[in-house]
Chain A
Amino acid sequence: MVTPTTPSVKLADSNIIVKAENVNKYFGALHVLKDMDLEVRRNEVVVIIGPSGSGKSTFLRCINHLEKINSGHIYVNGHMIGYHDRNGKLVEDSERNISRQRAEIGMVFQRFNLFPHLTAIENIIEAPMRVRKIPEEQARAEGERLLARVGLADKRDKYPNQISGGQQQRVAIARALAMKPGLMLFDEPTSALDPEMIGEVLDVMKELAHEMTMIVVSHEMGFARAAANRIVFVDEGQIIEQASPEEFFANPRSERTRLFLSQILH
């Protein structure tokens, strides 16, 4: 179905923050996302799980247009992301437009990707100052508040190299929050961490889950159980099933889900 040529689309329900329709994505001949559909409502916490190579991270990266899609539509806050419709054909937006959209979406990466040449506080205030044009003093005050919130007020002037992986990831979360995004994407945020540091990052995320719209790609079933409103199981580029955590873990409907759960839960 082709949407009208207006860049903004009135969604039936204004509480829907993310809407993906028939999203297809290829890496060369490899069909990584097959007609993916997903709706995420305001303040919902959706955890996407699935075997590695299932396309879950790729899908997440399409939501802020770090990956291009080959067909379908993704809307964030009612605006199509990365593209506009011109006579039924998708045309990629200008870099400036895409940047503006990305500023409203926070992202946390598996490998933290903090800027190594900047201190913790400098990492946090960089985008608010450059993108939002917030004065340094105000950005710093806000940044320090965020650092305190992730429990790292004392690491303010440390460089990423000087703090642990778990601390780096918490700074990365603060950095994303500093843009006051309406949506947070987490791409396997604890997969690169030593086991003893996973807890501190998940604690921060659980805290956030009370007040934010979050889409989390993760293997942490404990977190999914505790913080998710909905679990989405993805395999081979398709959503196999989605349900509340209670329902999902107690009564997985599909055979593939049962197999995956038996492998991951031992």
Chain B
Amino acid sequence: MDSESLTQPDVQQEMGIALVALQRRNKTIQQIKIAGVWVALVAVLTGGLLLLHIEPGYMLQHYNIILQGAWTTIYVSFVSILIATAIALAGSIARLSSNSIAQGVSGFYVSLLRGTPLLIQIYVIYLGLPQIGQQLTELGFPTIGRMFILDAIPAGILALSLNYGAYMTEIFRAGLQSISHGQREAAIALGMTPWQVMRRVILPQAIRIIIPDVGNQFIAMQKDSALVSVMGVWEITYLANRYARRDSKYMEMFLVGAAAYWILTIISSWLQGRLEKRMGRAYER
């Protein structure tokens, strides 16, 4: 009896360890199987394309052109997501404020920018604004007028920032609202001012909730940045299109372009996962 009760916990522990090892092994096998399916799908696609006389040689010769465009895509998306984040932060605080002007302005902005296509916003900023600039110049304000004439890349960044800023304002608002009212009460009861409460208590907690969504927005933006090719910005899509037309190698060039976006988003997803893990530190038991 005595010896039995002594050994029992050991046996249980060993069984537990064995069970965990078994589960881990099953999971690894599962992952290997999934990877196998991916490899098979890529092989089938490649095989099919080769049968259709796609020229892999042409693709290999021209992938470095796309690579140059990738830097522009990364640059435009990265700057835009930073500006959009700043807009979203201000916009969400305005939406939640009790000030009716702040609420009105931010609500109007979100509605307008979410309610119209990004492509039209790009056209308005790149092609429409210079018209206003011209009129201002005629009215005798050439310095202000010149500010309305934007180069393609700044115009693209402005359009992407404003558009994504509107969507992200809503994401930030939901994130801020998800922090329990007790947190705010505890902070103000300690004598913290509304600004300190936001900066030190609400925002750090909300950011953890917001980060995955910002990551998703960044991934979406990398692909939406293809739209700035309409202004002749030499990013992935523009370059793919240019060489595709010149050499009539549409499938080849657009596949290389698509692959470039795909690789970018895979890298971004991986970075996003790491960031989320780091932000979750305080919540591990």
Contacts and interface: CB of A to CB of B under 8 A. Distances in A.
Nearest to B188: A102
B182 interface: yes
Nearest to B205: A117
Given A116-B283, A117-B208, A159-B282, A96 B185 contact: no
Contacts of A114: 186
Interface in A154-176: 159, 161-162, 172, 175-176
B182 A109 contact: yes
Contact of B190 (A101, A119, A126, A159): A126
Given A116-B282, A131-B196, A99 B188 contact: yes
Given A117-B208, A131-B196, A109 B283 contact: no
A109 B185 CA distance: 9
Interface string A87-125: 000000001100111111111010101111111000000
B201 A179 contact: no
A104 B190 CA distance: 8
Contacts of B204: 117
A95 B205 contact: no
Nearest to A162: B285
Interface string B188-217: 111111101000110011001000000000
B277 to A, nearest CB: 15
Interface residues of B, number: 23
B206 to A, nearest CB: 10
A96 B190 contact: no
A159 B279 CA distance: 13
Instruction: Report which residue of A101, A115, A117, A159 has the largest number of chain B beta carbons within 10 angstroms of its beta carbon.
Output: A117
Nearest to A130: B196
Most chain A Cβ neighbours within 10 Å, of B188, B190, B192, B285: B190
B205 to A, nearest CB: 5
B178 interface: no
B188 A66 contact: yes
Given A116-B282, A116-B283, A117-B204, A127 B182 contact: no
B193 A126 contact: no
A239 to B, nearest CB: 24
Residue in A64, A96, A116, A118 with the greatest tally of chain B CB atoms within 10 Å: A116
A104 to B, nearest CB: 8
A234 B191 CA distance: 28
Contacts of B200: 126, 130
Contacts of A161: 282-285
A16 to B, nearest CB: 22
Contacts of B205: 115-117
Contact of B191 (A102, A109, A117): A102
B282 A127 contact: no
B98 to A, nearest CB: 11
Which label, helix, strand, loop or mixed, suits the secondary structure of the B interface? helix
Nearest to A118: B282
A99 B185 contact: no
Contacts of B193: 95-96, 99
Contacts of A119: 282
Contacts of B26: none
A172 B183 CA distance: 12
A131 B191 contact: yes
A116 B283 CA distance: 8
Given A102-B191, A127-B191, A131-B192, A113 B285 contact: no
Contacts of B194: 95
B189 A102 contact: yes
A12 to B, nearest CB: 28
A234 to B, nearest CB: 21
Interface in B14-65: none
A66 B190 contact: no
A107 B201 contact: no
Contact of A99 (B180, B192, B201): B192
Contacts of A111: 182
Given A130-B196, A130-B200, A159-B283, A113 B191 contact: no
B88 to A, nearest CB: 20
Nearest to A115: B201
B183 A127 contact: no
Given A66-B188, A102-B189, A113-B182, 16 more contacts: A99-B191, A102-B188, A103-B191, A105-B189, A106-B189, A109-B182, A113-B180, A113-B185, A113-B186, A115-B205, A116-B282, A117-B208, A130-B192, A130-B196, A159-B282, A162-B285
22 contacts: A64-B189, A96-B193, A101-B191, A103-B191, A104-B191, A106-B189, A107-B189, A109-B182, A111-B182, A113-B182, A113-B183, A113-B186, A116-B205, A117-B208, A119-B282, A130-B200, A131-B190, A131-B192, A161-B283, A161-B285, A172-B186, A175-B190
Interface of A: 64, 66, 95-96, 99-107, 109, 111, 113-119, 126-127, 130-131, 159, 161-162, 172, 175-176, 179
